[in-house]
Amino acid sequence: MKADTTIMPARPLGLANLLTYGRIAAVPVVVGLMYWHSILEGGLWLRWMALFVFVVAGVTDFFDGYVARVWSQQSSLGRMLDPIADKLLVASSLLMLAVDETIKGPSLLAAVIILCREILVSGMREYLAELRVRLQVTQLAKWKTTLQLVAIGFLIAGDAGDRAATALGLGIPGAAEGAGTVTLIGITLLWLSAMLTLYTGWDYMRAGLHHLVDE
């Protein structure tokens, strides 16, 4: 992993940054819809709405980087906000999924691994920023984020997705409540993303410790 000390303009109103703002704005919407369904006992349509907003927000994670590269809109503000937007979306969704017990039992450990890694990396970035050093995001870290978003998408669908799968004849015969096809796919992907998260977290830590020793 390489350090990057390039200074870029902020471009607060660039299209790439506007897409990132949209991803941040989607966080309270997703949380609100999930809260309405699980805590206020709203209808299953709320899960589909939450999933729709989540997917749209996740797609902007690809397009803001694409727009920035193709239209030469790379910016210092985008560099800062893009990982923050991802972490807000992932962390808030995981917390709500834990609250409504879509994620429960041993699977909570996978969520804890993901959250702890994000906190660790954020702290490392803050420290390195004081040294005017920025660690470039690796391709593997990008895949990690993508896998997290896909896993959480399946879990947000949750019971609504399980019922739809059963109606389509894709359900798991004799499955216990909360163990439908869509939920199990989400839990499996969550564990895979947690393992990838551990690896990329160690990669960042190793690079950060290198600068710490040098300092």
Distance from C-alpha of 65 to C-alpha of 114, rounded to nearest angstrom: 22
pTM listed for this prediction: 0.84
- Domain, as residue range, for 126: 3-214
Distance from C-alpha of 109 to C-alpha of 25, rounded to nearest angstrom: 28
pLDDT of residue 205 exceeding 80: no
Distance from C-alpha of 145 to C-alpha of 130, rounded to nearest angstrom: 25
For 130-152, the pLDDT digits (tens) are: 666 666 667 788 888 899 999 99
Closest-CA residue to 190 (of 140, 154, 137, 166): 154
Mean pLDDT, the chain, whole residue set: 82
Residue 4, φ and ψ in degrees, nearest 5: -130, 120
Distance from C-alpha of 6 to C-alpha of 122, rounded to nearest angstrom: 19
- Which amino acid, one-letter code, is at 42? G
Q: How many separate domains does the chain show?
A: 1
In CATH, what number is assigned to the domain containing residue 165?
Answer: 1.20.120
Tokens of 108: 């909570």
For 29-82, the pLDDT digits (tens) are: 999 999 999 989 889 999 999 999 999 999 988 887 777 777 777 777 777 788
